[in-house]
Amino acid sequence: MTGSKLVFMRRALLLLFPALSYLTSLGQSSELAPVTRTYAIKNARIVQAPGRIIDNGVLVIKNGIITAVGKNIEIPAEARIIKADTMYVYAGFIDGLSHTGVPKPKEEENKVKDPGNPPNDIAGIEPQRDVRNMLDPNDKSVDEMRRLGFAVSHVVPHGRMLPGQGAIILHAGESPDAMVYKQQASLFSQLTGAPGIYPNTVIGVMAKYRELYRQAEQAKAYKARYIQDATGMERPSSDRVLEAFYPVIDKQIPVVFKAEDVLSIQRVIDLKSQLGFNLMLAEIKQGWDISEKLKNSGAKLFLSLDLPEMKEEKSMPDTTKTTDKNVELKADKDPEKQRLQARKDETIKKHYQQPALLQSQGVEFGFSTFEAKPRDIKGNLSKLIENGLSEDAALSALTTTPARLLGLSSTMGTLDIGKIANLVITDKSYFDKESKVKYVFVDGKIFEYKDEPVPKKNGETVRVTGKWTYNTETPQGVHTGDIVINGEEGDYSGTISSTISGDTNDLSNISVDGDQLSFSFTVVIEGNAVLVEVIVTVEEGSFEGTMTAGDYGSYPIEGERSPEK
Amino acid sequence: MKEYIAIVLLLLFSQAVQSQQKGTVLIKNGTVLTITKGTMEATDVLIKDGVISKIGKGLSTPKGAQTIDATGMYVMPGIIDAHSHIALDAVNEATSPVTAEVWTGDAINPLDVSIYRALAGGVTISHALHGSANAIGGQSETIKHRYGTVDPDALRMKEAPRTIKFALGENPTRVHGGGNGIVPRTRMGVEAVFRSSFSEARQYMKAWDEYNAGKSKKGYKGTAPQYDLRLETLADILKGDIIVHCHSYRADEIYMLMQVCKDFGIKKLVFQHVNEGFKVAPELAEFGAMASVFSDWWAYKFEVYYSTAYNATILHKNGVVTSINSDSGELIRHLYHEAAKTQKYGGLSDNDALSMITINPAKQLGIESRVGSIEEGKDGDIAIFKNHPLSIYTIPMMTIVDGVVEFDRENDPDDMRIYVDPKETIDVTLHGTGHAGDRCMQDAEFLFHE
């Protein structure tokens, strides 16, 4: 069966058995779910909120709501009983910002006549877009986040400077509307320019942002005047881009800005103080030196769970594959190299110590998972605790604090009567490295996790042969094309094509190490041969990583396996 | 070893969290090159809370102040670079021939180790210019080299007037005409861009004036023009609120821009590079335009072939306020050598040669009342040299900004980066910086098609 036919068949099945497909898409239970919407979780250690614990407690859920929680609770006859002896129950986690449930759209090639005056959508200026129109309940990111205990996400569209409006979604529901808890929750913004067109750089983006905001204020004021006394006045023109700012100007919704590094964060705080909008700062990675500034900004803060890789302390000498062991060993003895490595390690540690530091300075924060790989999130949370964050503080940042920052406290964030039944149940304390998530309830719906995704065995290499499509964004625009790899381990060959140049180049130095694929090829830029080096991580038919083109810089590259013919 | 690293880190980070500091320091017994008030032997300079409070002999040390023994050394004002692109995360918004609304002040990068390297050459202030890809580029920022902070705002020199970058000749015509097939393709086109931009700004100002005059009248039905940040900025140039710094090489285009400025009443004009400035030196002097030049760098593209190392001297002798700049993260470390070249090519006096990297660039940036010479009441920005700064044997020993020692040769750690990249590969080889460190066309390379 060809790929397209398969898809067609699956679609047909989906149409025929929507309910069944819902179950199979959860992929953890072959038996039919019981018909009740009442559940009782028994004999569990119930962590109602950070520091509020009931040992051997019972929690009852009815019609999506927590109806009873405590010690001596009568269990309703119709309840499905979850035996949770020695298990831990927490409020479902709340993710401060991500693209969960929002598939990444295909990048399109856009030829613009005058790069100084591009159409708004190509320039990345689409604040009028609503993320609800982009939600896909079956996107794998929903299940990946739910598996980790996240019941709720603040989600936003993909894009550049002004991708659109965010929403608060529940990680359950069969249609986009069924998932949405709160629409138009925020106006999403980034300091991201458009490749090759205005605004292209951070200075262009900031200037454009100021201009749009002031134009919106002006247009809004004029409209108010017009409504008062329209006769004889020029009709205000309708402008969906400017109108998207009106609720922000009225302080009805915040601007949520993604700002990772210490400089971007301060640039965004500058914009806020100049323009005066309510600000949410998300995906913060480097805030340790500016805690006072963060506190004084009045912004609501979400720290990134995407952390740089921290090498585990090994007692054994590192036996990485090297072409020349002696050179490697000599270099490691080089005191200068040791000092540089020590500084690098210190910097990495600062990322892990940041939540504990901010906590000690009285800075309130939740977490965001925007750029974090789902498989790293749980381990990263454990490492944050190893680096000084208390479990209670971590739990607050996953539950009560984001609930408050996102205005959800009346219905979410704790295990109290009347709250929405968002729960995560683990066999040990969640923050224990060995703990496993057993059940997650979202909106009163049960999700049971029996089989862990099997981790890759050490030393096993992924299959890289075949045809892949890739795309990468450089200042020239978006490059797409095919990568074809043939041969077998130790003897690979391949080619890469580019739709921009129309060239196909041979790959060299193709090597696979575990799930890492690396190769290089040569292109001619401005008459010079430039070696382009690519390192990507391959995962289930897709890859992502970086492409480095000599002095021309490094760019993210991602791709997926083409369907086999 | 580990402990040592930890201590250094602590020092670094305790520094990083402090923003703008003002120091108190007494520099004793040096040869003070004041630039504006002659040279004073065996003289003390006292900086109090960041400001030079006293210059004289045998000054007493205020309580708790640091003392620097400058016996046998030369004490000069901090060097000022009127053309630089260090400490910037973005240099060109190269997508349109006119981008007056953008501002390099939004892209200040206080973590750039180039700042420390500049300090190591005695440079205390640089003009963080927008690049030269566009006819009307962006507004720029004058920065003080207060290294060791993560706060971009701490580097901004608040007293400095606004400046903007213009560009003539091959850069805008290659980027926009050649790269995108739009105006300007030729030097005529560049002039047309200026004239149409300023004409539009005039109309914009007029429309706002009419609206502002009418809006208070009862029952007024008029409409304001739509707010436009680009035209707002151009209007501010016409009002004289912004100093124009223009990238230029050829005499004809230099003369052209002066004519355009005369027609639109723009008076504050500084030409950058100005390789053919010597041909129109009297005209520059008559207009009151200033010039910021390379000492002896040319022939790196076609329009820069007709040049001479005597350019700075000729301009200076014709009464043009002239400075010598770097436009490079490498040259910025030895501007004192660049200034000394005016003594080989033109025989300038010590004082005139040093003016080219101190008081003259200060005038071009509109900050001469604060910096550029050693005078009581001016900022405590000082560079201390072993041997005369114009000698080939000179060594920069210490650089002070606002009374804070920012560089000290005796105490100069290897790794002065404030942040390191957690993803960096530790590679102890040097990487090439490409075009000799020149960043004039950064962010615009993608527009050059073969």
Task: Classify residue A44 as exposed, middle or buried by CB count within 10 Å of its CB (0-12, 13-18, 19+).
Answer: buried
* Of residues A477 and B164, more confidently modeled: B164
The pLDDT tens digits for B180-210 are 899 999 999 999 999 999 999 999 999 999 9
Q: Residue B263 is encoded by which pair of tokens?
A: 């027609």
Residue-wise DSSP of B49-68:
TTEEEEEESSPPPPTT-EEE
Across the interface, whether the CB atoms of B420 and A344 are under 8 A apart is answered yes
> Please, which pLDDT band fits residue B376 given cuts at 50, 70 and 90?
very high
Across the interface, whether the CB atoms of B428 and A308 are under 8 A apart is answered no
- Output phi, psi for B47, to 5 deg: -105, 125
Give the number of other Cβ atoms within 10 Å of residue A204's Cβ.
30
The pLDDT tens digits for B131-148 are 999 999 999 999 999 999
Q: Which pLDDT belongs to residue B128? A: 98
Measured distance CA(B317)–CA(B360) in Å, rounded: 14
The pLDDT tens digits for A186-203 are 999 999 999 999 999 999
Is residue A455 pLDDT above 60, yes or no? Answer: no
Mean pLDDT is lowest, of A54-63, A293-302, A534-543, for: A534-543
Q: Residue A491 half-sphere exposure, CB side, CA atoms within 13 Å? A: 2
Question: Which candidate, A175, A184, A112, A120, places its Cα nearest to that of A155?
Answer: A184
Mean pLDDT is lowest, of A315-324, A388-397, A467-476, B415-424, for: A315-324
Question: Which candidate, B102, B32, B106, B103, places its Cα nearest to that of B72?
Answer: B32
The pLDDT tens digits for A332-373 are 678 888 899 999 999 999 999 999 999 999 999 999 999 999
Residue B4 near chain A (CB below 8 Å): no
Q: A203 contacts in B (CB within 8 Å)?
A: 90, 93, 102-104, 106-107, 130, 138
Q: Which pLDDT belongs to residue A4? A: 47
Q: Which pLDDT belongs to residue A281? A: 98
Amino acid making up residue A106: K
- End-to-end Cα spacing for chain A: 9
Q: Which pLDDT belongs to residue A18? A: 42
Query: Is B375 in contact with B362 (CB distance < 8 Å)?
Result: no
- B429-450 burial, b at 16+ Cβ within 10 Å, e below that, comes to eeeeeeeebbbbbbbbbbbeee
Query: Is A182 in contact with A130 (CB distance < 8 Å)?
Result: no
Instruction: Give the relative orientation of helices A335-360 and A391-398 as an angle to the nearest 10 degrees.
Output: 70
Measured distance CA(B44)–CA(B61) in Å, rounded: 10
Query: Is A369 in contact with A101 (CB distance < 8 Å)?
Result: no
Given the DSSP bridges, would you call strands B66-69 and B25-33 parallel, antiparallel or unpaired? parallel
Alpha carbon distances (Å) from A454 to A375, A451, A561, B72, B90: 12, 8, 21, 73, 45
Task: Classify residue A198 as exposed, middle or buried by CB count within 10 Å of its CB (0-12, 13-18, 19+).
Answer: buried
Q: Which pLDDT belongs to residue B367? A: 98
Residues 232..251 of A with a Cβ closer than 8 Å to B: which?
Answer: 232-234
Percent helix, strand and coil across chain A, each to the nearest 5? 30, 30, 40
Q: Which one-letter DSSP state was computed for residue A420? A: B
Measured distance CA(B323)–CA(B362) in Å, rounded: 9
Is residue B204 left, alpha or beta, with left meaning phi > 0 and alpha meaning psi from -120 to 50? alpha
Rg (CA), chain A: 26
> Please, which pLDDT band fits residue A458 given cuts at 50, 70 and 90?
low
Summarize the confidence of residues A411-421 as an average pLDDT.
Answer: 98
Summarize the confidence of residues A128-142 as an average pLDDT.
Answer: 97
Is residue B370 pLDDT above 50, yes or no? Answer: yes
For an interface test with A, the pick among B93, B103, B151, B430 (most A C-beta atoms closer than 10 Å) comes out as B93
Given the DSSP bridges, would you call strands A300-304 and A93-98 parallel, antiparallel or unpaired? unpaired
> CB-CB: which of A207, A286, A347 is closest to B229?
A207
> Please, which pLDDT band fits residue A471 given cuts at 50, 70 and 90?
confident
Amino acid making up residue B47: I
The SS3 call for residue B110 is coil
Measured distance CA(A9)–CA(A412) in Å, rounded: 40
Q: Which pLDDT belongs to residue A108? A: 78
Q: B434 contacts in A (CB within 8 Å)?
A: 551
Question: Which candidate, A18, A384, A36, places its Cα nearest to that of A175?
Answer: A18
Question: Which candidate, B71, B104, B107, places its Cα nearest to that of B89?
Answer: B107
Measured distance CA(B264)–CA(B269) in Å, rounded: 12
Measured distance CA(A7)–CA(A51) in Å, rounded: 49
Cis peptide before A199 (omega within 30 of 0): yes
Alpha carbon distances (Å) from A163 to A134, A166, A245, A311, B112: 12, 9, 13, 36, 30
The pLDDT tens digits for B54-103 are 999 999 999 889 999 999 999 999 999 999 999 999 999 999 999 999 99
Residue B103 near chain A (CB below 8 Å): yes
> Please, which pLDDT band fits residue B8 given cuts at 50, 70 and 90?
very low
Q: Which pLDDT belongs to residue A551? A: 67
Give chain A's mean pLDDT: 88
Question: Which candidate, B63, B69, B22, B21, places its Cα nearest to that of B45?
Answer: B69
Is residue A466 left, alpha or beta, with left meaning phi > 0 and alpha meaning psi from -120 to 50? left
The pLDDT tens digits for B10-56 are 444 444 444 568 999 999 999 999 999 999 999 999 999 999 999 99
Q: Which pLDDT belongs to residue A318? A: 44
Query: Is A446 in contact with A172 (CB distance < 8 Å)?
Result: no
Q: Which pLDDT belongs to residue A454? A: 52
Query: Is B24 in contact with B51 (CB distance < 8 Å)?
Result: no
Q: Which one-letter DSSP state was computed for residue B344? A: H
Is residue A2 pLDDT above 80, yes or no? Answer: no
Query: Is A415 in contact with A91 (CB distance < 8 Å)?
Result: yes
* Residue in A with minimal Cα distance to B227: A215
Residues whose CB falls within 8 Å of the CB of residue B284, separated by 6 or more in sequence, listed in order: B254, B258, B271, B277, B290, B291, B315, B318, B320
Is residue B269 pLDDT above 90, yes or no? Answer: yes
Task: Classify residue A460 as exposed, middle or buried by CB count within 10 Å of its CB (0-12, 13-18, 19+).
Answer: exposed
Residues 142..181 of B with a Cβ closer than 8 Å to A: which?
Answer: 150-153, 180
Is residue A537 pLDDT above 70, yes or no? Answer: yes
Summarize the confidence of residues A309-323 as an average pLDDT.
Answer: 54
Q: Residue B212 half-sphere exposure, CB side, CA atoms within 13 Å? A: 6
Amino acid making up residue A497: S
Q: B98 contacts in A (CB within 8 Å)?
A: 116
Q: A344 contacts in B (CB within 8 Å)?
A: 420-422, 424, 426
Is residue A29 pLDDT above 70, yes or no? Answer: no
Q: Which pLDDT belongs to residue A457? A: 52
Share of chain B above pLDDT 70, in %: 91
Q: Which pLDDT belongs to residue B14? A: 44
Residues 353..412 of B with a Cβ closer than 8 Å to A: which?
Answer: none
Q: Which pLDDT belongs to residue A511? A: 85
Residue carrying the six token digits 């529940």 = A170
Is residue A412 pLDDT above 60, yes or no? Answer: yes
* Of residues B422 and B285, more confidently modeled: B285
Give the number of other Cβ atoms within 10 Å of residue A508's Cβ.
13
Per-residue three-class SS string for A214-248: HHHHHHHHHHHHHHHCCCCCCCCCCCHHHHCCHHH
Q: Which pLDDT belongs to residue A546? A: 84
Measured distance CA(B262)–CA(B244) in Å, rounded: 13
DSSP E strands in A321-449: the ranges are: 366-368, 423-426, 437-442, 445-448
Q: A111 contacts in B (CB within 8 Å)?
A: none
Is residue A273 pLDDT above 60, yes or no? Answer: yes
Share of chain B above pLDDT 90, in %: 86
Is residue A319 pLDDT above 50, yes or no? Answer: no
- Chains A, B: CB pairs < 8 Å: 156
pTM, two decimals, is 0.86
Residues 414..433 of B with a Cβ closer than 8 Å to A: which?
Answer: 414-415, 417, 419-424, 426, 428, 431-432
